[in-house]
Amino acid sequence: MDHGQRKQRAQQIGAADAYPHRFGVVASCIVAGSIFAAAGSQLQNPLPEQLSAEFAPASARPSTAATSAPATPFEFVAVTIGRNDTLDRIFRELQLHVSDLAALRNLPDVRHNLDIIRPGDVIQMTHLGGELKSLTRRINETATLSVTRAEEGFSANIVENPLETKEQRLTGTVDSSLYVAVNEAGGTDRLAVSLADVFKYDIDFVNSVQPGDRFIVTHEQQWQDGEFVRDGDILAAEFVNSGRAYRAVRYVTPNGHADYYTPDGRPVRKAFLRYPVDYARISSGYSQARWHPVLHRVRAHRGIDFAAATGTPIKAAGAGRVIFRGVKGGYGNVVELSHSNGITTLYAHMSRFAREVGVGDRVAQGEVIGYVGMTGLATGPHVHYEYRVNGVYKNPARVTVPKADPIPANLMEDFRAKTAPLLADLDAPADGPVRVARAGR
């Protein structure tokens, strides 16, 4: 590295006489004389003699001719971790004492929280002439590692900053789309997706939602230091679609399993999804006589085509076992699943298969088994979905699918006790207050 390159790099990290050689770390240094006292107080370190002399009254200072050059001030460094970065490399390139890093690693419970770094992580340090004075790094969303140098050596502690969980109740009416309606009510796109996910077994949110449909939703929000972090779980919701009201309430069993149920304890979840692709458009329905766009002749279309972008995940409509995975004529890339009660489902025209799914494997409802494409006889990206009972083709849009098991009788009392307040929220006035529920991590 020539002198010009080293000088440019030194300017990037703010070190007047250090020339690090690595470009994987993005570091910014701020030399701030005003932090002397604050740093000295925090670290419980007396100021060096040179600094004491520098800040002494003019009458008490030695003559200028007899004094040496002022000491290097404390420097603050914020390092953003890059690929293949290590703390050892960072310390060496910032010309910090590697012995300080070794001392940090010997502190109880520090090595693990210190050495596991990921690209994008930020480590903040202060030092004086290469001697480390403090180090902080965020371990996770709610905890920060803080290390300071005292007279007897380094000390470390974990600063906890837990998330606060609040509940919010929103009401709205659909005008153009569910996304717009939820946002206008004060929610987010993520909340709109979650609301649609709760009722996806009963409502087609792509083709059936219309202006005038209404919703009420009580959900959790995560906050930290007075700032919104993200949406949490939906606790209870109602959606009125074409005049018909659907209600769902979240219930957590004593063993920790959470799911959504109707007010009388029946699962909202059905044994089969309505569609194997989220928010897709029906491009061709079930028909005994359809003009084939590729073959240019009339033939039966014993399934439903869902148009979606290439690469959109295709999900198993129900729990089952993979009985075919490969190419099948005009179907192109196909996955076929066998379910209970003689039911089989087929998913065709995939661009590719999910790597972890093979013949003989069991899959859960909603598990990704492949991705939308246009292999075989297809004019555009879509998934062709078939539903058969004992080998007989059925219209997936009209078939009556088996219901999931209701809450066991021995849990009904617990279910009613826990869900009654949540269901009551759905009947509360629309301008009810936001309530702080609890603090959590």
At 204-233, the pLDDT tens digits run: 887 789 999 999 999 999 999 999 999 999
Asked whether the predicted pLDDT for residue 31 surpasses 50, the reply is: no
- Encoded amino acid at 194, one letter: S
Confidence of residue 52 (pLDDT cuts 50, 70, 90): very low
| Cross-strand bridge partners of residue 305 | 284, 384
Residue 105 CA: distances (Å) to CA of 100, 123, 159, 345 = 9, 15, 18, 56
The pLDDT, as a whole number, for residue 135 is: 93
Confidence of residue 8 (pLDDT cuts 50, 70, 90): very low
Instruction: For the sheet with 26-31, list strands across it.
Output: 26-31, 75-80, 122-128, 131-140, 143-150, 153-160
Distance CA 61, CA 77 (A): 31
* Residue spans per domain, the chain: 3-160, 164-270+407-440, 281-394
The pLDDT, as a whole number, for residue 289 is: 53
Mean pLDDT of 74-93: 90
Residue 113 vs residue 146, higher pLDDT: 146
Asked whether the predicted pLDDT for residue 40 surpasses 50, the reply is: no
Asked whether the predicted pLDDT for residue 441 surpasses 60, the reply is: no
Asked whether the predicted pLDDT for residue 128 surpasses 60, the reply is: yes
CATH architecture of the domain with range 164-270+407-440: Roll (3.10)
The pLDDT, as a whole number, for residue 57 is: 42
- Domain 3-160 and domain 164-270+407-440 have a common topology: yes
Asked whether the predicted pLDDT for residue 299 surpasses 90, the reply is: no
Name the CATH topology of 3-160: Nuclear Transport Factor 2; Chain: A, (3.10.450)
Mean pLDDT of 106-123: 86
3-class secondary structure, 229:
strand
Contact call for residues 139 and 441 (beta carbons, < 8 A): no
SS3 content of the chain, % helix, strand, coil (to 5): 20, 40, 40
- Encoded amino acid at 84, one letter: N
CATH code: domain 281-394 is 2.70.70.10
Residue 306 CA: distances (Å) to CA of 71, 159, 282, 370, 420 = 71, 50, 5, 14, 39
Confidence of residue 11 (pLDDT cuts 50, 70, 90): very low
Confidence of residue 295 (pLDDT cuts 50, 70, 90): low
Contact call for residues 381 and 308 (beta carbons, < 8 A): yes
Contact call for residues 296 and 317 (beta carbons, < 8 A): no
3-class secondary structure, 425:
helix
3-class secondary structure, 291:
strand
Q: Which residue in the block uniquely carries the two structure tokens 């020539």?
A: 2
